[in-house]
Structure 1
Amino acid sequence: MNKILALLVLCAGIFFFQAAMAQQTEPITNDDRPVLVEDNSSETSSILPDKERESNFSLNILLRGMLGMSVLLVLGFVLSTNRKNIPWRTVAIGLFIQVLLAIGVLYVPFVRDGFEFFGQIFVKILDFTKAGSEFLLGDLMNADTYGFIFLFQVLPTIIFFSALTSLLFYWGIIQKVVYGLAWLFTKALKISGAEALSVAGNIFLGQTESPLMIKAYLEKMSKSEILLVMSGGMATMAGGVLAAYIALLGGNDPQMRLEFAKHLLAASVMAAPAAIVFSKMLVPPTEAINKQIEVSKEKIGSNVLDAITNGTSEGVKLAVNVAAMLLTFIAFIAMFNFIIGKIGQWTSLNELIAEGTNGRYEGLSLQFILGYTFAPLMWLIGVGAEDIIVVGRLLGEKLILTEFIGYISLAELKTTAAFTHPKSVIMATYILCGFANFSSIGIQIGGIGALAPGR
C-alpha cells in the first residue's frame, strides 16, 4: 500500500512540478480579457494578449511559484523511504536545470528560437500528415465545411509520426540524440547510464517503448532505478501524441500550432529533470551506480521500407487504441453525469450549484466535483483565482481518466472564453503534459513487468 501511495504521489508531484515551473515560464500580463481562440482565423487566434508579453517577474508570481515547489519538496522529503540518503546535489541541480529551461524559453532568444525551430518541425509534420489525409478523405478534411473532426484531424498524425519515428530509429538518429541527452543527465545529475537512457528516450518515445532500450538492465536495476524508469515514462510524452496535441490545441491556425508546439516541447523536456528529482527523493539510491551508457543496437526493420511499414502498423494500433479509449471514457463520463445529475435534481443540488457558480455549472457533474476538489492545489501553484476551478477540473480529468481527455477539454474550453487569464491556458498545457494517471500505472506494470518478470 505504501508503494502504491508513493507512486501516486510521484505522479502528482511530476505534473505539479511542471505547473510550478510554468508559473515562472509565462508571467501574468495586465490584460485580463477572457481568452477566445478561433481555430479558423489567424487574425483573431490568440492564447496571449494582443500586445507584447511583459518580461518582468512580479513578486506575487515568484512567491506563488516558490511556495508550490517548496510544498512538493517537503512532501517528497516526508514520504521518502530513506531521508538520510536523499541526494541533495541531484535535487538542487535538477531544480536549477528546470529554472534555466524556464528562463531560457521566456527570456533567452536563442533558447526560445530553438524550441520554436523544433516546434516548426512538428507543425510541418502536421502539414505532411494533412496531405496524406486529404488523399484518403478528400473534402472531409476541410474544417471550414465540416468543422474539426477529431478522427480525421488528429488520429492520422499519430500514424504518420509513428512511421517517421521508426524511420529515424532505423537510421540511428534517435539513438544518437538519446545518447547525447543521457550523457548529459549522467554527468550533471549523477544517475546511472541505464536510467539516463530511459529518461532521455521517454522525451521521444512512449512509456512502454523507451524501456526496450534498456531491457538488458531491467532485471538488475535497484528499486530507485526502477522507480525513475517508471516516473520518467509518466512525466514525458511520446512524440506521436505530442504532435496530436499540437493539432488538437492549435486547430488549423499555423501560429497557434507553433505556439502550442513550443510550450508542449518545453513541458516534455522540463519534465525529465522533474522526474529525476522527485523519484530520487522518494526512493534515494543506496547502491553503487553504473554510469556506462550502451544504446540498444536492435533494429526496427530489415530496410527502410520495412521500418516505415512496421512503424505504420504500430501507429495504427496506437490510433485505434486512442480512439477506442476516448469513446469509452467519454461515454462513461456522460453516463456518470446523467446519474449524478438526476441525484442533483432530486435533492435540489442542481439549482444551488447553478446559482452558486453563476451558471458556469448547470448542476452536479463530474466536472464540477473535480474542479472544486483540485481548486486549492491550482491556487497553490499559481493559477489565477478566477480560473482555479476550470484548471482543477482539467487536472482531475487527466489524473482519473487520461491526459487525452484533459487536452480535449482544454481545446473546448479555450474556444468558449472559459478562461479569464491567458496565462491559465499555458499553465494547463504544462499541467496536462505527460502520462501521469491511474491507467499508466497498469500500463507500466504490464509493459515493464513483461520485460523483467523477475522484478
Structure 2
Amino acid sequence: MKYVIAILGVLIVFGLTYAASNDKRNIRYRPLVQMVILQVILAFILLNTSVGELLIKGFSSVFESLLAYAADGVNFVFGGIANEGQAPFFLMVLLPIIFISALIGILQYTKILPFIIKYIGLVLSKVNGMGKLESYNAVASAILGQSEVFISVKKQIGLLPEHRLYTLCASAMSTVSMSIVGAYMLMISPKYVVTALVLNLFGGFIIASVLNPYKVSKEEDILEVQEEHKQSFFEMLGEYIMDGFKVAITVAAMLIGFVALIALVNGLFDGLFGITFQQLLGYIFAPFAFLMGVPWKEAVDAGSIMATKMVANEFVAMLDLSKQAVLSERATGIVSVFLVSFANFSSIGIISGAVKGLHEKQGNVVARFGLRLLYGATLVSVLSATIAGLFL
C-alpha cells in the first residue's frame, strides 16, 4: 500500500508542478526520468543498505568530531553557564556553526572546495540537461549557503535572463548550508539529514525543469566563477569566523521571535476557537503528509510540523519534531527529510536581499517571483520526503 501512496504522491507533485509551469511545451522528460530514477536508487542505498549505513556513519562521525572540537571553544568561553546536566540550545547547537564556518573558509582559501564544487557541478550538468552554471550553483548552494553562493557567480548575475536566475535561486532555497548541517544532526537523525541533502540536490533540478523549462545554448553555457579578493590567511579566517557568528546570532534571534510569536498566535486561536494555529495548519497540510507516506492517524501532527517549517523556519520545526512523542519512527523519518531545506517565507527575503546586494535590478526580479520560488522549493521537499518514505 505504501508504494501505491508514494506513486500517487509523486504524480500529484508533478501535477502541481506541471500546472504552474511557465512553458509546458518545452519540458524535457528524459532528464526528469533519469533524475527520479537516480533519487530512488540513492534513497535505497542510503536508507536500506549496509553501504549507505557506512556512508552515513562516516559522514555523521566527521560532524560529531567537529562538534566535539567546537565544544572545546564554546566551553572555554561559556563554561559554567549551563546548569548541571543541561545543554542550552544556543551554546550546544548554534555556536558550533562558528567553527564549521571557519573550516569552510580554510577549504575555500586553499582552493579545495571550489575545485570539488566546480567538477561535481560539471558532472551533474551531464545528467540534468541544464547549464554548467546552474549545476555549479546547486552544488555550491549545498555547501556555501543560500546567500553566500551568489557572491561566487556575481560576474554573471547581471547577465542572466529571468528564467536562469529563477533556477539559481530555486537551488539556493531547496538546499541547506553545510555550516549548519551539524546543528541539524543534533536535532534529527543524521541519516535523514544526509538523505535529504542528496535527494534535494536532484529534486531541485527536477522541479525547476518542469516549473521553468528552458535550453541553454553552447554560447550561453559558460561557467565563470568569481575569485574572492586576495586576503591573507588570517584575514580570511577572521572573516569566516565572524560570518559564522552572524549566522548563529541571526538564527538565535529568529528562533526567539518566531517561537514567541507562534506561542502568542496559538494562545489567541486556542482562546477564541478552541484550536491552536499550528493544529489548524496541521489539518491543511495533513493530505500532503499522507501522500508523503505518513499514516493518516499521524498526518495532522506531521502536517503541523511541516507548516511550522514553512511559516517560521526549519529550526523551529525540528524543535517541535523533537518534542513530538506521538509520531512513529516512519512518520518521524519522512517529516525529518521534509524539514531539511530552506523552503520558508524568510528565505525569500534572504535570497532577494543577497542578489540585490550584488545587482539591484536582478534583486527586484527575484523579489517578484519570491512566492513561486517558495512553491517550487516546498514541492522539492515533498518529493524528497515521498521518495525517502518508500524505504522507511
Q: TM-score range by the shorter chain?
A: 0.7 to 0.9
Change (3 A) 1:448 1:75: same
State TM-score, norm by structure 1: 0.76
For 1:203-282, list aligned pairs within 5 A.
203-249=142-188, 260-282=189-211
What residue number does 1:177 align with? 116
Among 1, 10, 13, the alignment partner of 1:72 is 13
**Alpha-carbon distance, 1:286 to partner:** 4.8
2:261 is the counterpart of 1:332: yes
Q: Looking at CA atoms only, which structure, 1 or 2, has the larger radius of gyration?
A: 1
Question: What is the alpha-carbon distance in structure 1 between the residues aligned to residue 41 and residue 96 of structure 2?
Answer: 31
- Aligned-pair CA distance for 1:123: 1.3
Distance 1:171 1:104 in 2: 32
Work out the CA distance in 2 between the residues paired with 1:141 and 1:205: 31
1:167 CA drift (Å): 1.2
Q: Is the 8 A contact 1:82 1:283 kept in 2?
A: yes
**Residue matched to 1:440:** 347
User: Quick one: which amino acid aligns to residue 432 of structure 1?
Assistant: L
SS of structure 2 residue aligned to 1:154: helix
- Post-superposition shift, 1:241? 1.8
Matched residue, 2:32: 91
Residue 406 of structure 1 corresponds to which residue in structure 2?
317
Q: How does 1:234-383 map to 2 (within 5 A)?
A: 234-249=173-188, 260-288=189-217, 290-299=220-229, 302-344=231-273, 350=274, 364-383=275-294
Distance, in Å, in 1 between the alignment partners of 2:151 and 2:121 is 15
Structure 1 residues without counterparts, runs of 5 or longer: 1-59, 250-259, 345-349, 351-363
Say if 2:31 and 2:128, in contact at 8 Å, map to a contact too: yes
Equivalent residue in structure 2 for 1:395, among 276, 294, 306: 306
Unmatched runs of 5 consecutive residues or more in structure 2: 363-392
Q: Which region of structure 1 is more displaced relative to structure 2, 237-246 or 285-294?
A: 285-294
2:127 corresponds in structure 1 to: 188
Identify which range, 314-323 or 111-120, moves more after superposition: 111-120
Distance in 1, matches of 2:78 and 2:236, equals 25
TM-score if structure 2 supplies the norm length?
A: 0.87
Identity of aligned residues (%): 25
C-alpha contact 1:183 1:293 (8 A) present in aligned 2:
no
- Among candidates 80, 83, 87, match of residue 148 of structure 1: 87
Q: Distance in 1 between matches of 2:238 and 2:144?
A: 18
Is this contact kept in 2: 1:64–1:382, CA < 8 A? Answer: yes
Aligned to 2:101: 162
Alpha-carbon distance in structure 2 between the residues aligned to 1:129 and 1:307: 19
Deviating more after overlay: 333-342 vs 372-381: 333-342
Alpha-carbon RMSD across the aligned residues, in angstroms, is: 1.7
SS at structure 1 position matched to 2:361: coil
- 1:39-118 to structure 2, matched below 5 A, reads 60-118=1-59
| Equivalent in 313, 333, 339 of residue 426 of structure 1 | 333
Contact 1:197–1:213, Cα closer than 8 Å, also in 2? no
**Cα deviations by residue, 1:2-25 (Å, 9 ceiling, x for unpaired):** xxxxxxxxxxxxxxxxxxxxxxxx
Take 1:111 and 1:177, find their aligned partners in 2: how far apart are those partners? 21
Partner residue of 1:453?
Answer: 360
For residues 213-272 of structure 1, what are the alpha-carbon distances to aligned partners after superposition, in whole Å with 9 as ceiling and x for unaligned?
Answer: 2111112223332111111111111012221111233xxxxxxxxxx2232022112101
Summarize deviations over 1:162-188 as a string: whole Å, max 9, x none: 111111111112112111210111111
